[in-house]
Chains A and B, each alone.
Chain A
Amino acid sequence: MGLSFPSDLEAYLDVKNLPSKQKAKGLANLKNILIVFIIFLLVPLVVKSPYYLTLLTTAGIGAVLAMTFILLLRTGLVNMAIAAFWGMGAYFSTIMSMKLDMSFWLCLPMSAILTGIIGLILGLILVRNPGFSFVIMTMVIAMVFVVAVGSTEELGGYSGMLRIPRPDPIHIPFLFTLKFKTNMASYYLMVVLVLLMVVLLSLLYASSIGRAWTVIGLNSQLAESLGINVFRYRLAAFFLAGTIAGLMGSFYVHYLGSVNPETFNLFKTVHVFIYAILGGIQFPFLGPIVGSLVMVFFPEFIRTTQELESIITGGVLLILIIFLPAGILSLPGLRTFASNPAQIFSKYAQAVRSPWSRERSSDK
């Protein structure tokens, strides 16, 4: 596809030789991400309004979906069915919690696993024909999903289902009970889920599996000649993407309380693409976060323009994509920040002589 991941070029060249360097880079990445997450954890102390917390939760879900998009993009697959898998997880969770009366904490992993299994089965057929046919077939899946669910009255048809229960309270013995009634509680749950996904993906990217994915994305024929089973690695990535999307779908419906098939249509997948591309696909975690924050909050800031809001958002998006086709984070100042926020922070910390100043993070 002609995509380039310059920071991984070293990995491409020493694919079998210096795993420790890749591991060190991956762990440094992890440190950066933990810093970003400390920021996110502290946000509700500043932002009290439940409406903004709702927006942040939505943005978080979109960011994780965009991360799965980048995961598959790295292996050379453009998945147009992301919203459909998201929807599958959502509907699985709805059925399990409402018709089978299962607790949310059981529904969450179960719907992730079930969606993953469906992803695996579909992937066995789809991943065999990578390239344009993959795009087309995932597009068909996305369209079939919406129409299939909409035509099934047991799933609520096109009007969807309501009154989906909130997550059950967790009783921590001898301490307190975590209830999930407020928006702040849902926000924290979202942050925990996003953190788990990011840690998982980060560890995978730093491992030999991640290296294999990168090589497959750069030149799949070369990867095949090096002995990497391209089909299996792509299938694994597809399965993982489906599982993660299903997980977020389950969280989404229990957080929202209702489900509707039109939410999971092809346009939603394209919105997820925009989150990833706007942020910059070079950055598998910060890119989606930046992109989804911008796309969720920018319309809010111009909400006073009412009906012109879509036009302005579209116009700004057009300008951004003409001048920054590689994403927002490709701007020179931001690129150094995004690659290594830990280093930037430690430079500032040096000025006030905090314990961090003694750390020297590894190079970019």
Chain B
Amino acid sequence: MLTLIGQLIVDGIAMGMVYVMLSAGIVFIMSVTGIFYLAYGQFYMIGAFLTWGAVVLFNLPFPAALALAVIATTILGLLSYLLLFQHTMASEEKFLATIVAAVALMMVLGQGGLVVFGASPRSLPDLFTGNISAFGITISVAKMVVVLIGIAVILLLFLFYTKTKTGRAMRAVSFLPETASLQGINTKAICLACVGIGTALAGFAGGIIAPGYGLVPEMGNNIILNVLLIAMLGGIDSVLGAVLGGLVVGLILSFGQYFFGARVQIILFITIGIIISIRPGGLLGRKELTL
């Protein structure tokens, strides 16, 4: 019994790590810049497929392929901010124009990925083979890699956000952008850096899961709704909330799928709905964001 629970916990953490990384990234972007980044899932897909492409087509070692994918998605994200979101956020219809821009970007990137990488599922089966066993709990090496490196990256992000000067500046911009710029913070540069870091995280998450899971071009579309939900649950302006929310959801999905089967999704959604209706700002949300 204990091993079963332990196994479910470990599986839940592995499943949740991707959600943790992606929700932390999207909350990072949305809280500081205010962009409703629906296109975020596509960067996840692009990171995954670029890693696959670099390993399979160009025979690069996995770390190099991962680095390449992260750099490429970062550049793409920075371009998207410079060319697109900077203009829509400065226009009169801030919120609405940004939603349209994000959806249009989602269409372009999603279909572009489909055209470039093809519609069939891909995978990298030979990189990390084998399973690790301890105390009767088994986990595949690939998933272990995801968990360990994911934890490291999230810790790094967290230290950056809370301890460094730039991180403080980002938090200031997420509170009150105009006041932050009055204090001498270059808001545009901060927003640019945030979008860059956020999309890099998405690309990284995609690359990290490539060895262990199958990759389909729809993975961006499939995951964005869950990620948004977790972000809302944890609090749209709290990175810690997103991290905890991702872990909780991963655990719930893991336990729920074992005990209830496929119905777990609806139970999860309704639970999250109830939690959010009681506390609309999310569990760790600090304030009411105004549009």
Contacts and interface: CB of A to CB of B under 8 A. Distances in A.
Interface of A: 1-4, 78, 125, 129, 131-133, 135-137, 139-141, 143-144, 147-148, 151, 266-267, 270-271, 273-274, 277-278, 281, 307-311, 313-315, 317-318, 321-322, 325-326
Contacts of B270: 144, 148
A310 B107 contact: yes
A317 B276 contact: no
A271 B106 CA distance: 12
Residue from A139, A270, A325 with most neighbouring chain B CB atoms (10 Å): A325
A313 B111 CA distance: 10
Given A277-B97, A317-B100, A140 B276 contact: yes
A273 B100 contact: yes
Contacts of B206: none
B107 A325 contact: no
A317 B262 contact: no
Contacts of B147: none
Given A318-B104, A318-B108, A147 B96 contact: no
A334 to B, nearest CB: 17
A325 B85 CA distance: 12
Interface of B: 38, 83-84, 87-88, 91-97, 99-101, 103-108, 110-112, 114-115, 221, 225, 228-229, 232, 236, 262-263, 265-266, 269-270, 272-273, 276-277, 280-281, 288-291
A140 B229 contact: yes
Contacts of A273: 96, 99-100, 103
A137 B280 contact: yes
A1 B269 contact: no
A270 B100 CA distance: 8
Nearest to B287: A132
B89 to A, nearest CB: 10
Contacts of B88: 321-322, 325
Given A270-B38, A315-B108, A321-B104, 19 more contacts: A1-B291, A2-B92, A4-B92, A132-B288, A133-B281, A139-B229, A140-B232, A144-B273, A151-B265, A270-B99, A273-B99, A281-B96, A307-B115, A311-B107, A311-B108, A314-B111, A321-B101, A322-B88, A325-B92
A137 B277 contact: yes
24 contacts: A1-B291, A4-B92, A133-B280, A140-B229, A140-B232, A144-B269, A147-B269, A148-B269, A148-B270, A273-B99, A273-B100, A274-B103, A277-B99, A277-B100, A281-B93, A314-B107, A317-B103, A317-B104, A318-B104, A318-B105, A321-B100, A322-B84, A325-B91, A326-B91
A271 B111 CA distance: 16
Contact of B288 (A78, A133, A311, A313): A133
Contacts of B100: 273-274, 277-278, 317, 321
Contacts of A321: 88, 97, 100-101, 104
B281 A326 contact: no
Nearest to A273: B99
A62 to B, nearest CB: 15
Given A1-B95, A136-B280, A326-B93, A151 B262 contact: yes
